Amino acid sequence: MNTLKYRIDPGNPDLNILEIVARDLKKGELVVFPTETVYGLGASAFNEAAVKKIYEVKGRPHDNPLIVHISSINQLEDITVGTGCLSPEKFRKILEKLWPGPVTFILERKAHVPPQVSAGLPTVAVRFPAHPVTRKLIELAGVPVVAPSANLSGRPSPTEEEHVLEDMDGKVKYILLSGSTPLGLESTVLDLTSSSPRILRPGPISVEKLREILGTDVEIPESARGRKSEKVPLSPGMKYRHYAPTKPLLLVEGELTEEIMKRLPQKSIIICSKETASNLREYPTLIWGSKNDLFAAAQKLFSLFRDAEKTDAEIIVAEGVEEKGLGLAVMNRLRRAASRVIYNR
């Protein structure tokens, strides 16, 4: 397929182009577009053939549900029933604080939403994204849009233009390019269908922040930390190896020292903070920024995975971060991408 590629300025989106693309999106074509989290691969949520195509293009397992993206809070009523474990007033209040933005809520699915959208589950995931291009595109399409990350299944999510071109060029009708995605990690997924709110996937909105806004506890199941011990996946997507670079990734939780590096027989490339890099001058490194700059770590993580793949290293070594704030989301991705973990605390 000849993919039509357009560069869209987020500060001043070309509405003539977006109108044409939105019309085709509504008709059932697939469109790759930027969001504030990562690039998404979109299809009309109410077009079953288009939803099916998403699974084919990504090579996504059929039991891994999709997130429905909407362009106003009011559109939520078309997709979901009720407000789960929160009172309608409280739910409304948190929506007004967090939407548009990088949080996805799981609620009961309305009967007319095609079951393929949520892999047959009675629940559905919904998000109102903040990126101006995403918002305008969904608004012009006039339909909710399902959009997983625009990578081939299992690969690191795309956060740069070149990543979407690597994975999606020739497979979809349109690719919209707007530079780097601002946050770099997928949305926080909050399940409201259990007896109290719980995190299924940590993301840019931290658990601390959610607890503060909700005024209640928010459960973090072990699997949301990205540890592989969980036997029963809470969220269907959790059982797959994810975000994985093509080379083995060794995650070091705790201090990444020269002693650890000396013991590795393979040629390596290290993804780490600038402080750690300055202690490991003999080794090639890819740096996200300062150790405490978790925002930079989140924004660059997937991009550094792809950069590391392209080096001649046999193994990627990654430095872990503290599991606070955004650090929980960064560690979730690192642990799930890792083929081995060393604990050095």
Which residues in this chain contact ligand AMP in the complex, by CB under 6 A?
Answer: 64-67, 106, 118, 121, 123-125, 148-149, 186, 189, 200-201, 235-238
Binder of residue 235, out of ligand AMP, Mg ion, none (CB less than 5 to 8 A by kind): ligand AMP
Closest contact distance (angstroms) between CB of 217 and ligand AMP is 20
Closest contact distance (angstroms) between CB of 210 and ligand AMP is 16
Angle at 168 between CA 55 and CA 10, to 5 degrees: 110
Nearer to ligand AMP, 10 or 236 (CB): 236
Closest contact distance (angstroms) between CB of 125 and ligand AMP is 3
Binder of residue 177, out of ligand AMP, Mg ion, none (CB less than 5 to 8 A by kind): none
- What tokens were used for 313? 């290293």
Binder of residue 342, out of ligand AMP, Mg ion, none (CB less than 5 to 8 A by kind): none
Nearer to ligand AMP, 141 or 190 (CB): 190
Closest contact distance (angstroms) between CB of 64 and ligand AMP is 5
- What tokens were used for 93? 């209040």
- What tokens were used for 219? 């459960």
End-to-end CA, the chain: 51
Nearer to ligand AMP, 121 or 220 (CB): 121
Maximum pairwise Cα distance, the chain: 59
What counts of helices (H) and strands (E) characterise the chain? 10, 16
Closest contact distance (angstroms) between CB of 193 and ligand AMP is 8
Those residues with Cβ within 8 angstroms of residue 276's Cβ, 6 or more apart along the chain or in another chain: 256, 270, 285, 291, 319
Say which residue the tokens 């007896």 belong to: 195
Binder of residue 327, out of ligand AMP, Mg ion, none (CB less than 5 to 8 A by kind): none
Binder of residue 201, out of Mg ion, ligand AMP, none (CB less than 5 to 8 A by kind): ligand AMP
Binder of residue 237, out of Mg ion, ligand AMP, none (CB less than 5 to 8 A by kind): ligand AMP
Those residues with Cβ within 8 angstroms of residue 104's Cβ, 6 or more apart along the chain or in another chain: 67, 125, 126, 127, 187, 188, 189, 190, 201
Query: Nearest residue to Mg ion, using CB?
Result: 149
DSSP letters along 3-47, please? -EEEE--TTS--HHHHHHHHHHHHHT--EEE--SSS-EEEEETT-
Q: Which residues bind Mg ion (CB under 5 A)?
A: 148-149
Closest contact distance (angstroms) between CB of 235 and ligand AMP is 4
Say which residue the tokens 């540890």 belong to: 227
Nearer to ligand AMP, 183 or 252 (CB): 183
d(CA 203, CA 199): 9
